[in-house]
Amino acid sequence: MPEERDYRWRESGARIRQARTKVGLTQKEVSELLGVSAHAVWCWEAGKNKPSGEHLVELASRCEVSTDWLLGREVVEAEVLDEAEVSFRNSVAGLPLEDLEEIQHFIDFVRQQRRRKR
């Protein structure tokens, strides 16, 4: 049984790394934001140690994911999309129209690139 829990934590460590890199943070930057050592962040990502509940919540917030996702719990795709939509809306709230148009151009560009890859 302990082996199974360790395996599950390694998966969560991989998710922590994925979330961190998705938002462009280094282990050192995460350590500074959370007030822990860079080695502690490395240990979390390697599945050697678990972050405290407080650190897990802060990490999820900084990386714009849910704590459930970091812990490897299944999340219904619609919930993930809802979180992404809310995050996006919060990010663009109050931006001038010209910035919103620029973001739309970028979205169109990303879609074109994705189509070309297929």
pTM of the predicted model as reported, rounded to 2 decimal places: 0.57
Long-range contacts of the stretch 27-30 (C-beta < 8 A, 24+): 30/59, 30/62
Look at residue 78 in the predicted model and tell me its pLDDT: 54
For tokens 């919103």, the residue is 100
| pLDDT for residue 49 is more than 60 | yes
Mean pLDDT of 18-35: 93
Look at residue 1 in the predicted model and tell me its pLDDT: 40
Look at residue 77 in the predicted model and tell me its pLDDT: 57
For residue 38, the tally of other CB atoms under 10 A from its CB is 14
Look at residue 66 in the predicted model and tell me its pLDDT: 85
| pLDDT for residue 36 is more than 90 | yes
Residue-wise pLDDT for 53-108, tens only, equals 999 999 998 888 888 888 887 655 556 666 777 788 888 888 899 999 999 999 99
- The CA distance from 111 to 105, in Å, is 10
Residue-wise pLDDT for 93-106, tens only, equals 888 999 999 999 99
